Structure 1
Amino acid sequence: MRSLERHRDVAAYALGVLNEADAFRFEDHLMECPMCTARVTEFGPVSRQLMLYRRATPRAVHPLAGPGPRLLDRLLAEVAVRRRAGRRRMLYAVAASVVFAVAGPALAVLAGGGEQKVRVEATDPRSGVWARVTAEDEMWGSEVELTVKDAAGPRPCRLVAVSRDGTEETVTNWTTPRHDARPNTLRGGAALHPDEILRYEVRAADGETLVTLPGR
């Protein structure tokens, strides 16, 4: 092996791809070449990362293996589901915007920056309680902000999200201050997405519904 070829074998030696005879001759060269010794040391982090990758890769998987038809089918199906969900959310937004234009300021759909928010508000004429719910769609469900005015306190209350199949989920709990009609803002969350929620209910501790707000 010529001297120039030995210098070029630094990477192959560091990565362990030289055969046994060439590796033996290169080790003799390292004893006389400080430059190659330093370069082999520089390849240390790369060698460790490749070793970790080899240990983490199942032996039954070939390094150049391609995806099988089942994996491709699953990926294509997932993409189709995501696209249908996106179109469905857009249709909900358009429908809600039409309701907003016809019925007044009780319902609004806010969209911007790739995010969608639903804002609804209502006043119960019997209890006098006013509430506004702003729900933002998240990957895990809904992030909810509630603003409520209730002058009949003190009393413990909770906001309940009722899904389209009738299941219920408590979004947040609070205690209304004594005879305080100022707005009180709270935050909570639900595992339900906004398009899965039929309505929101502000309830007292005894189960009385103080005000009902429509979902999407």
Structure 2
Amino acid sequence: MRPLERHRDAGAYALGVLDAADTFRFDDHLMDCPTCRALLEELGPAARQLAAYDRLTPPHVEPLAVPGPGLIDRLLTESGRLHRARRRRWLCAVAASVVLAVAAPATAGLRADGPGPEQITARDGRTGVSATLTARGRDWGTDIGLRVRDPHGGARVCELIAVAADGSEQTVTTWKVPVGESAGGSSGDLSTRGGAALAREDIARYEVRTTDGQHLLTLRRP
């Protein structure tokens, strides 16, 4: 699929209407596309509102509005408008910071955004397991995405552990690749997400282990 078409999948991904194969491909695309990551941030509130409406609507009540084919396009259009407006405000902030820097060199410049996501890639030659991890700091801790390749596939249940600088540990997520997928040619590829109640800068490393304690891979923060 062409990159432009993949960008358009962001709305469907946010609403959870992609099938399993397209969701996997979009997870893979998301690792390397800051545009789509920003777009998902913008679509998040709308997707949560739709999900809340669905949960609160009794089954016997006919919904007031059913998402139609144009919903995703309208969400993308509105998201683009908001993104352009934010970009104009950001450019104004940059211009103001330049003026301040010229007029008063000791004055701190304005910052439009916080730090971007941190990405770590590693492979263990002994176990054959490789992974790419993306970590983004949140108010509540760290939001973590993981793309992992395990040649053993469905032969074992695995978990991702966040290890803090003080040695404490938190389980981020667990998974098991279905045996059928591994045998069908996916080579044990899997994408998953989770979170840790630790600030990103407090995490020293991440470890992939089996649930019975076998160490498979270490991903160290730079």
- Which TM-score band applies after superposition, normalised by the shorter structure? 0.3 to 0.5
Larger Rg belongs to: 1
TM superposition score normalised by structure 1: 0.46
With CA pairs under 8 Å and 6+ residues apart, which has the higher RCO, 1 or 2? 2
Give the structure with the larger helix fraction: 2
